[in-house]
Amino acid sequence: MQNQLKAILEEAKEQLDKASSLGETEELRIKFLGKKGKLTEILRSMKSLSPEERKTLGQTANSTRGQIEAILEEKFAMMKELQKATKLKSEKIDVTEPGSLIQLGVKHPISITIDEISKVFMNMGFRIIEGPEIETVFNNFDALNAGPNHPARDFTDTFYITEDVLLRTQTSPVQVRTLMKDNPPIKVISPGRCFRCDTPDATHSPMFHQVEGLVVDEGISMADLKGTLDSFAKQMFGSNAKTKFRPHHFPFTEPSAEMDVSCFKCGGKGCKVCKGSGWIEILGCGMVHPNVLAVGHVDTEKYTGFAFGMGVERIAMLKYGVDDIRLFYENDMRFIQQFK
């Protein structure tokens, strides 16, 4: 048995020296020191020996086990280092190589414009609310004082889903919903998409965006309306911007007006953008009609209010010099990338 132990040790040394991977080394560990390994078999056969022989053989067996374990430990460490070096070599990163170009997304110019408009009004204490794009005829027309014979209700101007349901033609229905839900004081804006039966061309689209504004409180006058919108124009287009209000007619406001802002391209001197007038129309506004306030059960003897609505595409086209509204909807990245 002493000779067998010596032979096992020599065999282990020889085979471990030839092992070239962690897997092979583990297989040899099991072969010599496992539960069914060669050294274990020798130890099990010691039962038939006398106590003295078992003692002597046991010492030799333990010495053999210790030597094999030491060789295995050294071999495992060597194989792990070799494996690590191989992995590092195959997975190395050349930090001198140029990195891959990552294309970052760009905000759409319509979103940029809505954010700019919203920021101006939020700084003045307005809060943002939203309404559905599919509206009732009542909220879109009746509650806004647009009677059954109003031309905007024609099928040639409005997308009807049913007789009583349509795609909203303006963001003004949010006024109605707000008046019916909230009590004064009210100070809100509502950005959103609108739909009208327009033939697409350079300045018209069947889908477009508006920002609606509504203020209702005690003592609200036309002076508050003009002051608010004049402040908006200066923050949006520059401190030198001037405003001009022209009489107009909207069924849901009385009196009504359209607001022009001095051309921010030529400073009011006259150019192609303002068609030589020095002024650019940007929104419609007016004092909320008592009939509209009454829909929300607002006491018209106590409260008054003003409302305004502006086309986002028009402001974006004017501000960024875009001459065709269709560019906003064609998803041409060459166009959108310019707004980084």
pLDDT at 64: 77
Query: What does the pLDDT read at residue 189?
Result: 97
The answer to whether 83 and 22 have CB atoms below 8 angstroms apart is: yes
Q: What is the pLDDT of residue 273?
A: 67
Task: Give a yes or no: residue 97 inside a domain.
Answer: no
Say whether both 137 and 254 belong to one domain. Answer: yes
Say yes or no: 79 and 126 in one domain: no
Task: Specify the pTM.
Answer: 0.68
Q: Residue 104: inside a domain, yes or no?
A: no
Looking at the structure of the chain, the number of domains it has is: 2
Q: Which domain holds residue 8?
A: 2-90
Shared domain check, 178 and 256: yes
In a domain, 269, yes or no: yes
Q: Is residue 121 part of a domain?
A: yes
Query: Are 74 and 118 in the same domain?
Result: no
The secondary structure of residue 131, as a DSSP letter, is: -
- On whether both 229 and 125 belong to a single domain, the answer is yes
Report residue 194: phi and psi, to 5°: -135, 165
pLDDT of residue 109: 93
Task: Identify whether residues 235 and 289 lie together within a single domain.
Answer: yes
Contacts of 4 (CB under 8 A, 6+ apart): 42
Element of type H or E holding 111: helix 109-123
Query: Does 75 share its domain with 214?
Result: no
Q: Is residue 272 in some structural domain?
A: yes
Within-domain flag for 225 = yes
Mark the ranges of the chain whose per-residue pLDDT is less than 70. Answer: 1-2, 45-49, 54, 267, 273
Please tell me the predicted confidence (pLDDT) of residue 145. 92
Which two tokens mark 270?
């006259």
How far, in whole angstroms, is CA 199 from its chain's centroid?
A: 31
Structural domain contains residue 295: yes
What is the length of the chain? 340
Dist. CA 128–CA 114, nearest whole Å: 11
Say what the pLDDT of residue 1 is: 64
Residue 283 domain-assigned (yes or no): yes
Q: Give me 177's structure tokens.
A: 């919903």
Query: Tokens 């909230």 — which residue?
Result: 182
pLDDT attached to residue 194: 96
| Shared domain check, 298 and 182 | yes
- For the stretch 95-132, pLDDT in tens is 787 878 887 888 999 999 999 999 999 999 999 999 99
- Residue 48 is predicted with a pLDDT of 67
Strands 134-136 and 165-167: antiparallel
Are both 170 and 260 inside the same structural domain?
yes
What pLDDT does 294 receive? 93
> Does 114 lie in the same domain as 38?
no
Do 43 and 123 belong together in one domain?
Answer: no
